Amino acid sequence: MPTLLSVNVNRIALLRNSRDHGWTPDLFALSRLILEAGAHGITIHPRPDERHIRASDVSPLAKIVAEFPHAEFNIEGNPEHNLLPLIAANRPHQATFVPDSTTQRTSDHGYSPDHARTITPLIADAKKSAKRVSIFVDADFASIDAAKAAGADRIELYTEPYAESLHNGTFEKTLKQFADAAAHARSIGLGVNAGHDLNLENLPSFVNAVQPDEVSIGHALIADALTFGMAGCVKRYLEAVQG
């Protein structure tokens, strides 16, 4: 199965929110453009302080995604904060649980095995509204096993260590770690997503070795769109996920 590309549009919302009027760039028009260019989905990560995605953005975005039969809507965030009501109200294709704090600027770790075991009821709750639930984990077998035990359908591998490995001399070792983690997840019946600091440079090698079901890319893609234009940038990333 080919790897699918879900575009995280948080950075568009962050730029919009840097001005008090809050209408440009147009989050909704650009999300539609991203899907028209061929992306397979839209990801959002609302946080309680609404620094980028606002609660009022979620329903309009869900309706835009619904215009595209090939596309999926992924709502991610901490289920112990503000996530579950948004999932219940908007019924996304996928809910992704991320163990971030209210003060984090960006996600920087996955669920530990002990923490993953505590969210079993929250996963069950999310499954009432989302087609599947994925949880954000580091590339280690214990965390993956805990995700399975907690009731997750998929994992999302936290890929910053892989991105850093291209610059610190650990590339081959780290890539194998991720490939082994993905193979283990699939062996116990979990789907495999991946995200964080993936870009045009490091994506092809990752996809070839790990073969994830889906990658979620935001910061790098939105930054590259300043050079290539949004539609052109999406097409470059679609080529990259082909390996």
**pLDDT tens-digit readout, 41-98:** 999 999 988 999 999 999 999 999 999 999 999 999 999 888 999 999 999 999 999 9
Is the distance from CB of 167 to CB of 199 less than 8 angstroms?
no
What are the angstrom distances between the C-alpha of 235 and each of 11, 45, 163, 219, 222?
Answer: 19, 23, 21, 16, 13
| 176 Cβ contact list (under 8 Å, min separation 6) | 209
pLDDT value at residue 110: 81
Is the distance from CB of 94 to CB of 74 less than 8 angstroms?
yes
Whole-model pTM? 0.95
What percentage of the chain has pLDDT greater than the value 90? 87
What are the angstrom distances between the C-alpha of 104 and each of 43, 100, 194, 238?
Answer: 18, 6, 20, 29
118 has a pLDDT exceeding 80: yes
* Domain ranges within the chain, ordered by starting residue: 4-240
The CATH H-level (homologous superfamily) assignment of domain 4-240 is Aldolase class I (3.20.20.70)
Give 61 or 104, the one with higher predicted confidence.
61
Q: Where are the alpha helices (DSSP H) in 37-82?
A: 55-66
Output helix, strand, coil percentages for the chain, rounded to the nearest 5: 50, 15, 35
Number of H helices and number of E strands within the chain? 12, 8
Query: Which sequence positions are flagged as catalytic?
Result: 45, 76, 196
Which pLDDT tens digit goes with each residue over 1-38?
Answer: 899 999 999 999 999 999 877 789 999 999 999 999 99
Cα separation, 93 vs 28, whole angstroms:
19
